[in-house]
Amino acid sequence: MKQLPQTERTALRRLPKRGTYDRESIYAILDEALLCHVGFIVEAQPYVIPTGFVRVEDRLFLHGSKASRMLKALKDGVEACVTVTLLDGLVLARSAFHHSMNYRSVVVFGKASSVEDDKGKMAVLRAFSEHMIPNRWDEVREPNQNELNATLVVSLPLDEASAKIRVGPPVDDEEDYALSVWAGVLPLRVMTQEAINDPRLPEEIQLPASVGNYNRANEKP
């Protein structure tokens, strides 16, 4: 299914023209982002927890300690809402009111299920690693049985989701275009800086290509 169905929960009310339910657009945002925020309610208390994630095919995976309240709640089938935001720029208008941001964001609703078998867990952990830094997995020690046992992996289906995208210059009130005020967009992006050796790294170990060539900015459209 190329387009996700628009549901009562995912129907955009404000500026719906910025919304899309196109699976390809939603997946492109998910695949570029490194972190998400997971919203859920436990005993009438809402929580919104930032964490890493990865998309594999039509599911979004989260992982962490078995002691995590978030993961335990998700495993138990609580309704969850996951958001992902890529900030692309500050939109600087002639009036304070029309200042905005350029962004690409996704909201996902659903109930998670857990990945129980070790082989499935290992595949997801590898996908996490590849999502964070391609080719790193093959350079490092794989998780051992104790580490696997201590890790909870859950996934949500990407069946009910929306994306919202703002691009372009500010939109000022017509009469404000006559003001002598600078207006435009200040682009922002996530960039790598020079890698810092671990203080306990033996001198003879060189920086691997996976780290040396890493540049998230290259992934931007």
Ligand X SMILES: Cc1cc2nc3c(=O)[nH]c(=O)nc-3n(C[C@H](O)[C@H](O)[C@H](O)COP(=O)(O)OP(=O)(O)OC[C@H]3O[C@@H](n4cnc5c(N)ncnc54)[C@H](O)[C@@H]3O)c2cc1C
List residues near ligand X by CB under 6 A.
9-14, 85, 87, 101, 103, 105-107, 162-164
Tokens coding 29 = 């945002």
Closer residue to ligand X (CB): 14 or 119:
14
Min separation Cβ 195 and ligand X, Å:
29
Closer residue to ligand X (CB): 50 or 199:
50
Closer residue to ligand X (CB): 87 or 127:
87
Min separation Cβ 119 and ligand X, Å:
34
Min separation Cβ 135 and ligand X, Å:
31
CA atoms of 92 and 165, how far apart (whole Å)? 17
CA atoms of 36 and 200, how far apart (whole Å)? 31
Strand-pair category, 45-52 with 54-56:
unpaired
Q: How far is the CA of 97 from the CAs of 100, 141, 160, 172, in angstroms?
A: 9, 52, 33, 9
Closer residue to ligand X (CB): 81 or 154:
81
Min separation Cβ 152 and ligand X, Å:
26
Closer residue to ligand X (CB): 85 or 113:
85
Min separation Cβ 24 and ligand X, Å:
15
Reported as type and span, the H/E element at residue 146 is helix 145-149
What is the total residue count of the chain? Answer: 221
- 128 closest CA partner among 108, 147, 109: 147
